[in-house]
Amino acid sequence: MGERRIRRVGPEAAAEVHAAMRAGFVDSARYAHPSSALRESVEDVRAALGRGGGVLLEIDGALRGSGRFAFVGEEAEVLAARLREAGDEGAPAPRVEADVAISRLAVEPEARGQGHGAAMVEWIEALARRLGARALLADARSQQPDNRGWWRARGFEVIGYAPRYGIPDIRTHMRKTL
């Protein structure tokens, strides 16, 4: 498997996150409706990272994956302030009315099936718990048959669906209470 390293990044790493995201979503190009991740620019990624942050996955020093997270909810700014103040360290904070939404989780095809995606979710979950978030949120795309089951295996539950392209459940909204 090699040595795995996950590190938190912000808008300054937009180009790296963009490259890893595109590599991880490359196989969605074969779908009738490819992921919109393939149309995002580096500037789009930079803006998204500014709403929370991201993680980069390196294996033996090579970039192999990425993910993003955003703070949402009534007290989202509390989570953002706690992250600015304490970074990745510190004691767990009291729970607030805010969630951490995971998006664009991507592992390049050659590195899949080795627990790297799960490790990134676990890393984000540990950060969310420490910051005092009440839940993790994620969307799964129905075009990828194993997507919903993958998130369920990590403790996420379906909370709703959203249509797009005439497909009633193309986006499955999922939640994991912390």
Q: What does pLDDT average to over the chain? A: 93
Phi, psi (deg, nearest 5) at residue 66:
-160, 170
Q: What pLDDT digit, counting tens, does each position of 85-97 carry?
A: 988 888 899 999 9
Distance, CA of 21 to CA of 120 (rounded, Å): 13
- Fill in the DSSP letter of residue 125: H
pLDDT at position 56 over 80: yes
What CATH fold (topology level) applies to the domain 4-177?
Answer: Aminopeptidase (3.40.630)
Q: What does the pLDDT average to over 116-141?
A: 96
- The confidence score (pLDDT) of residue 28 equals 81
Tokens matching residue 32:
């009738």
Range of lowest pLDDT (29-38, 60-69, 135-144): 29-38
Query: Do residues 59 and 4 touch, judged by C-beta distance below 8 A?
Result: yes
- The confidence score (pLDDT) of residue 31 equals 77
Q: What pLDDT digit, counting tens, does each position of 9-53 carry?
A: 999 999 999 999 999 888 888 877 778 888 899 999 999 999 999
Name the range with the highest mean pLDDT among 18-27, 121-130, 169-178.
Answer: 121-130
- The confidence score (pLDDT) of residue 151 equals 95
Extents of the domains making up the chain:
4-177
- The confidence score (pLDDT) of residue 25 equals 85
Distance, CA of 8 to CA of 137 (rounded, Å): 18
- The confidence score (pLDDT) of residue 163 equals 84
